[in-house]
Amino acid sequence: MLFNTCLTVAQSRKWESATSKDGKIATKYSISTRSDENGNDVALIESVTTATEKINMDRCIELMKDVSKHKFFHSDDSSTVVKTISENEWIIYYYTEGTFFTPDADGVYTLTFTEDKSNKTADFTIQAVPTLLERTEAKRFTYLNKGYSFEDMKDGTVRITMTTRLSPAFRVPGWIMNMAFPHTFFDVMQKFINLAHNE
């Protein structure tokens, strides 16, 4: 995968753990640096965020397959399917308008789905493929891998695991990083759960 072709990682790598205020969401995360393909040091954000929720797993799967709704839990301005490759793989596009502090950003990704019905698990992977669409003036994500795993716990609950490994599409000031994490991980998970309940 493209994710594995990027050059080596992680200077001053340190993992931290945090729990949401209500104790329902836990995350383990690291903010470090890596060397990109040009030998430049860039930020690297990694995380594993988990929650167990009383919810129907099919609703989680339906939400992940409805790419138009991804923007609601990723906080993008648009999320669309560019091309359907198969019933379990899509090329998708996210776009986020900039703010006073940040430029517009976009990303082109493959979204893949696998399911193990006997073990009652389902997995989605979002992988950056930045050259599949012509670049715009927006800053493009070129190094990103996100995973969404769902496991039916057979007691009416589903264990949700979200993993992230990415470099921002542009240089982010340290104070913004400090403000964003770990809150952002909790926010994405909670928004996903709220939306899945309404599927």
* Span of 111-120, 149-158, 177-186 with lowest mean pLDDT: 177-186
Between CA 122 and CA 196 the distance in angstroms is 15
pLDDT tens-digit profile of 50-61? 999 999 999 999
CA distance 186 to 192: 10
How far apart (Å, rounded) are the C-alpha atoms in residues 161 and 139?
28
Residue 9 vs residue 103, higher pLDDT:
103
Of 1-5, 6-10, 39-43, the poorest mean pLDDT is in 1-5
* Per-residue three-class SS string for the chain: CHHHHCCCEEECCCEEEEECCCCCEEEEEEEEEEECCCCCEEEEEEEEEEEEEECCHHHHHHHHHCHHHHHHHHCCCEEEEEEEEECCEEEEEEEECCCCCCCCEEEEEEEEEEEECCCCEEEEEEEECCCCCCCCCCEECCCEEEEEEEEECCCCEEEEEEEEEECCCCCCCHHHHHHHCCHHHHHHHHHHHHHHHCC
HSE value, Cβ hemisphere, 13 Å, CA-based, for 80: 8
Using the predicted structure, report yes or no on whether residue 164 has a pLDDT greater than 70. Answer: yes
CA distances from 165 to 6, 32, 43, 147, 168 (A): 12, 11, 11, 9, 10
What angle (nearest 5°) sits at the alpha carbon of residue 95, between those of residues 91 and 101? 150
Number of C-beta neighbours around residue 190 at 10 A: 17
- List, for residues 45-99, the tens digit of each pLDDT value: 999 999 999 999 999 999 999 999 999 999 999 999 999 999 999 999 999 999 9
* pTM for this model (two decimals): 0.90
pLDDT of 109 > 80? The answer is yes
**Residue 37 is encoded by which pair of tokens?**
């393909």
Domains of the chain from N-terminus onward: 49-197 (3.30.530.20)
